[in-house]
Amino acid sequence: MTELLTTSQAKELHRTFVEDVMGMPSGEKINICQQCGTCTGSCPTSYLMDYGPREVIAAFRAGMIDRVVKSNTIWLCTSCYYCTVRCPAGIKITDLMYELKRMAIKYDLAPKQSKNPAMTKYFIDSVRKHGRNHEVEMMARFMLLKDWSLPFKFWQLGLRLFTAGRMPLTAKNIRGRDELEKISAYLEAQEAKAQ
Amino acid sequence: MKYLYYPGCSAEATGKAYDASSRAMMDKLGVELVELDDWNCCGATSYFSVRELDSFAIAARNLAIAQEMGDDELCVICNACYTTLAKTNRYMAEDPHVFEAVQGALGAVGRSYDGNVKVRHVVDILINDVGVEAIAERVTRRLTGLRVAPYYGCQFSRPMGSFDDVQVPTTMDRLFEAMGADVIAEFDAKTDCCGGMMMLTREDAALRLCHELLVAARQYRADVIVAACPLCEMNLEGYQPRVNKTYGTDFNIPVMYFTQLAGLALGADPKQLAIDKQVVSCSSVLAAIPA
């Protein structure tokens, strides 16, 4: 499916995952998963995933979390939280998916064909720049850099939204833009200090 | 009654009508909404995907401003904003490490937040503070005979379910029942996912989910679907032509922000509720309810 990582890289991913998950509130509950599969059965997109949510936990136990980090699974999670509210063991599976997204972005391991990491980046860029997400700017960047077919598919909708005033071209900047930057810089420095 | 109000980023663009209709509806109920000063994006699902603490800290900046403005409650209309802000409170309360990190980050910009601003979904405020009886008394245009499919979406009561059942929410059902509508209580797709941001990144997956929702709405003969989230609304309404093209269907079901329909029942002007800004025409809904 995807090329394999070296053993040391795989081990590092495993270690990062364990450390981060155990640091989450009720993260240790991952250990009491009984593989019932309620999560996968509740997931609206599991049918497309390389590994369903149940298999994500199974893979972790088998020491193969590196395969999940590189899979399409995590980018198909819409954060609907069905798995989380239905898990009989109280495992916060959506939070595990977020952790895996962070790892895939950090180690640059997301599958090349997945467009979600780019969307995530453009969203955050827009918020950093304006303090709020400027939808039009984010979409324009996404279309220009990631998917040229979108304007052709959605021009009618775009036109309708534009004429209805639902796609303002100018962004509103908040006064405290620099605060968001400083908040991120502070947390980044703290993280670096801890390592 | 008066509430601090967090509109969210969509309220300034695709979800403008959600903001306008929330204000107009609340005005009809005698509830004043005071916009949170200089609010920033909650971070939504994107920030969680990069650094969790960043996400909590930028969400908490909004809560810190609410605290500075001397309020202990914040009214939120968007499901995603609601979940992100409420989740920030919960994780700050559950995890001292999160609390400390957020405090430190806010301290770096001269702010502080104690964790005591309650995040309230607008539906929660309507049902539990204003009350269905009081709302029913103010209805001037009863929604008699209108088949309403209440669509709650994912992050309305998941994952926390602070004011409604996590799996089978009914608060919007009660709201529209009080307004005389023929609410489709058995609309079992009401908390199914619309695909969210995947409409742009994995169109096939998102269209399939929207298709299933629209099929369910038609099966129950819905005249209108009401949504409580700008992303749900956009996906269900704006992409109906794409669903039709992909699945060979002919859906043309009006989708409204629930505040637009509630505003109508309370006698607000359709223009003020921005009903003409919908992608799928709502003229059938307007025609169905007596003026």
Domains of chain A: 7-106 (1.10.1060.10), 116-194 (no CATH)
Structure confidence by residue, pLDDT tens digits, B138-154: 999 999 999 999 999 99
* Residue A113: closest C-alpha in chain B: B201
In order of start, what are the domains of chain B with their CATH numbers?
Answer: 2-122 (1.20.1050.140), 132-288 (3.40.50.11810)
Position B16, amino acid: K
Give A-chain residues touching B83 at CB under 8 angstroms: 81
Distance CA B22, CA B12 (A): 13
User: Which pTM does this prediction carry?
Assistant: 0.95
* Cβ-defined contact of B51 to A191 (cutoff 8 Å): yes
Q: Note the pLDDT of residue B39.
A: 98
Segments of chain B with pLDDT less than 50: none
Mutate to test the interface with B, among A39, A74, A109, A133 (most CBs of B within 10 A): A133
Give A-chain residues touching B155 at CB under 8 angstroms: 79-81
The reply to whether omega before B159 is within 30° of 0 (cis) is yes
* Residue A130: closest C-alpha in chain B: B40
Banded model confidence at residue A135, pLDDT cuts 50, 70, 90? very high
3 state SS for chain B = CEEEEECCHHHHCCCHHHHHHHHHHHHHCCCEEEECCCCCCCCHHHHHCCCHHHHHHHHHHHHHHHHHCCCCEEEECCHHHHHHHHHHHHHHHHCHHHHHHHHHHHHCCCCCCCCCCEEEEHHHHHHHHHCHHHHHHHCCCCCCCCEEEEECCCCCCCCCCCCCCCCCCCHHHHHHHHCCCEECCCCCCCCCCCCCCHHHHCHHHHHHHHHHHHHHHHHCCCCEEEECCHHHHHHHHHCHHHHHHHHCCCCCCCEEEHHHHHHHHCCCCCCCCCHHHCCCCCHHHHHHCCC
Q: Note the pLDDT of residue A4.
A: 66
Residue A1, pLDDT above cutoff 60: no
* Residue B107: closest C-alpha in chain A: A183
Percent of chain B with pLDDT over 70: 100
How far is Cα of residue B207 from the mean position of the Cα atoms in its chain? 21
Give A-chain residues touching B47 at CB under 8 angstroms: 124, 127
ipTM: 0.93
Percent of chain B with pLDDT over 90: 97
